[in-house]
């Protein structure tokens, strides 16, 4: 009996030792990528454009084995909501944070404070902060220039080659870095290349498509000889496109929008919209997470990355490269 007990005791000791060795190995194992969390904070989780950004980030998380919480407010106008989301994300001690600031001035200080604790990667829109480790965005000034070129071409095509007449600019919200840069590029290009185009209205809306519709309708009524409009984001293009359609002005008043969704693509097919300046939001999301992971490891990353912009027209929308931008995999 003592012999049996001795054997059992030795087995127990050996099992305990093996368990201790296994625990030691598990404890000393390096942290895997799956243990890394990098939240992405967009401007509006309900918008098709931002859903594409999130899809890119989601794919990067899957490819890289990183946990990517998808965060953001319910509207681009909810600046305070985004600030709270950023603060809560940083409080969770992530490896890094990717953010598209809703409003340049208001997000400056919160981003400065966040960057004192974690690497911050900016995408899409700027903020009044120099604390970004890297910034990935469309060159929005160049995007505005592309829009001016597209509008001039549409006006010329509708007027026997004459690039002249009254045009208008409608911006969704004041103070949004990307939108202000698009407006800047648009106005600079008009002045530099198209002296025959007169900017008769430079209007701001409140981020709502119905407001864009109303502003455009008023402009059309006040300027029956209006030749073109640049609506500098997706929501404004929806509203202004509706105004063009309701007033039967397709092909008569040129319209250049920014970004795309099913409604804008239909407007483009129907001739209501002359062209769309399309970014690469999927790449912004994907490369944003990829860059954030590299930065969190102490690797060197580019300070500024231009993710590109393309003018889409009815003539080129079936090209494989353009089609991939218009119909991304969500």
Can you spell out the DSSP letters for 187-238? HHHHHHH-TTEEEEEEEE--S-HHHHHHHHHHHHHH-TTEEEEEE-SHHHHH
pLDDT average, residue stretch 261-266 = 95
Q: How far apart are CA 210 and CA 246, in angstroms?
A: 13
Q: Evaluate if residue 19 carries a pLDDT over 50.
A: no
Strands 96-99 and 134-137 come out as unpaired
Q: Evaluate if residue 20 carries a pLDDT over 50.
A: no
Q: Evaluate if residue 9 carries a pLDDT over 70.
A: no
Give the pLDDT score at 328.
84
Q: Evaluate if residue 270 carries a pLDDT over 60.
A: yes
Q: How far apart are CA 84 and CA 304, in angstroms?
A: 26
Give which of 125, 94, 90 is closest to 107, Cα–Cα.
Answer: 125
Q: Evaluate if residue 272 carries a pLDDT over 60.
A: yes
Burial (Cβ within 10 Å: 0-12, 13-18, ≥19) of residue 275? buried
Q: Evaluate if residue 330 carries a pLDDT over 60.
A: yes
Q: How far apart are CA 168 and CA 309, in angstroms?
A: 21
Give the pLDDT score at 34.
56
pLDDT average, residue stretch 80-103 = 97
pLDDT average, residue stretch 52-67 = 97
Instruction: Give the ranges where the chain is alpha helix by DSSP (H).
Output: 2-28, 48-64, 79-91, 104-115, 140-158, 177-193, 209-222, 234-246, 262-270, 281-296, 320-326
Helices 234-246 and 262-270 pack at an angle, to 10 degrees, of: 40
Q: Evaluate if residue 16 carries a pLDDT over 60.
A: no
- Structural domains in the chain, CATH included, are 38-137+279-298 (3.40.50.2300), 138-277 (3.40.50.2300)
Kindly indicate the confidence band of residue 13, based on its pLDDT and cuts at 50, 70 and 90: very low
Q: Evaluate if residue 27 carries a pLDDT over 70.
A: no
**Mean pLDDT over the full length of the chain:** 90
Q: Evaluate if residue 38 carries a pLDDT over 60.
A: yes
Chain centre to alpha carbon of residue 298: 25
pLDDT average, residue stretch 247-262 = 96
């Amino acid at each position: 009996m003592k012999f049996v007990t001795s054997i059992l005791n030795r087995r127990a000791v050996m099992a305990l030792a093996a368990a201790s060795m296994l625990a030691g190995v598990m404890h000393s194992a390096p942290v895997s990528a799956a243990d890394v969390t990098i939240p992405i904070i967009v401007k509006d989780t309900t918008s098709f454009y931002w859903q594409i950004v999130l899809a890119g980030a989601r794919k990067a998380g899957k490819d890289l084995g990183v946990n990517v919480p998808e965060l953001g407010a319910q509207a681009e106008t909810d600046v305070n909501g985004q600030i709270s989301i950023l603060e809560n994300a940083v409080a969770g001690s992530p490896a890094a944070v990717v953010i598209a600031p809703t409003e340049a001035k208001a997000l400056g200080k919160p981003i400065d404070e966040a960057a004192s604790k974690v690497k911050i990667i900016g995408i899409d829109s700027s903020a009044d902060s120099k604390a970004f480790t890297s910034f990935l965005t469309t060159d929005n000034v160049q995007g505005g220039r592309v829009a001016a070129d597209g509008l001039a071409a549409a006006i010329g095509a509708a007027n026997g080659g004459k690039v002249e007449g009254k045009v208008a600019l409608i911006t969704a919200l004041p103070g949004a870095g990307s939108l202000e840069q698009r407006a800047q590029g648009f106005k600079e290009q008009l002045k530099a290349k198209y002296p025959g185009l007169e900017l008769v209205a430079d209007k701001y809306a409140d981020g709502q498509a119905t407001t864009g519709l109303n502003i455009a309708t008023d402009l059309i009524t006040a300027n029956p000889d209006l030749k073109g409009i640049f609506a500098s984001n997706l929501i404004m293009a929806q509203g202004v496109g509706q105004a063009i359609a309701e007033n039967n002005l397709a092909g008569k008043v040129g319209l250049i929008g920014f970004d795309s969704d099913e409604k804008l693509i239909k407007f483009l097919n129907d001739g209501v919209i002359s062209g769309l300046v399309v970014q690469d939001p999927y790449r912004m999301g994907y490369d944003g997470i990829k860059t954030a992971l590299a930065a969190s490891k102490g690797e060197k990353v580019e300070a500024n990355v231009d993710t590109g912009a393309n003018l889409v027209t009815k003539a080129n929308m079936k090209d494989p490269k353009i089609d991939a931008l218009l119909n991304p995999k969500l």
